[in-house]
Amino acid sequence: EPKAVAEVVLQQLELAKNRASAPSQPLPVVFTPNGVASALISPLMAAFNGKTVLEGASPIGKRLDQAVFDKKLWLWDDPTIAYRPGSRPCDDEGIPSQRTPLIEQGTVANFLYDLQTAALAHTRSTGNGSRNRGGLPAPSPSAFIIAPGKTSFNEMVNDIKEGLVIEQLMGATQGNILGGDFSGNVLLGYKVESGKIVGRVKDTMVSGNIYQVLKQITAIGSETKWVGGFLNTPPLYCPSVSVASK
């Protein structure tokens, strides 16, 4: 809705009125839904792709039913949600769509397969076959859903003595995505001091590895937001993320 968009923009402008500096050291970071999308999701999508798993390029390919992430984390792919861009009754190979759990209480629960990769893996297709014009079908996610927690965004911020709130990273997906790495300049982010947002940070880079960052999650937000039609996620509060600043 236009009114809701306007309120978000006005809030961001208000928070960015002052400029703050961040120290070059590991800091607690709250990734907003947009921050989660820009920093953490691309490596996860690659890791759970059945083709990547079969090629031996996924760090979690041999860790099915093992605890890899924080036990508070739940993730699934769901193309059955009504009125979403990636929703469909069946995939491009005619396999009925289904909700596929990927992470349950931090444990790797499944991977995403089309017919070919499922046959090679001796399992069933998860209904994630996607075909571009002129190409063969390949596994592809429809909509990643991260389950909400019980902590409000304000409670997360109030808990931080010194840290950052990340709204958007630029260039975070240009690193070793298959290895789980992310590294990007903070396009929009805020400094937190003594539980309060004190201003916008610039000339700052945030980096890490999702298998370390998502192994220890301090809290998961209670409210979720759709980002780009392909991700529904709450904010994620991580206790230690590498920060470098000029």
Domain residue ranges of the chain, discontinuous segments joined by +: 17-36+149-245
pLDDT for residue 240: 97
Whether the pLDDT of residue 95 is over 70: the answer is: yes
pLDDT for residue 26: 97
Give the model confidence (pLDDT) of 128-153 as tens digits: 999 988 789 999 999 999 999 999 99
Segment 106-133 mean pLDDT: 97
Percent of the chain predicted with pLDDT > 70:
94
Q: Which residues contact 236 (CB under 8 A, 6 or more apart)?
A: 30, 31, 36, 40, 146, 214, 217, 220, 221
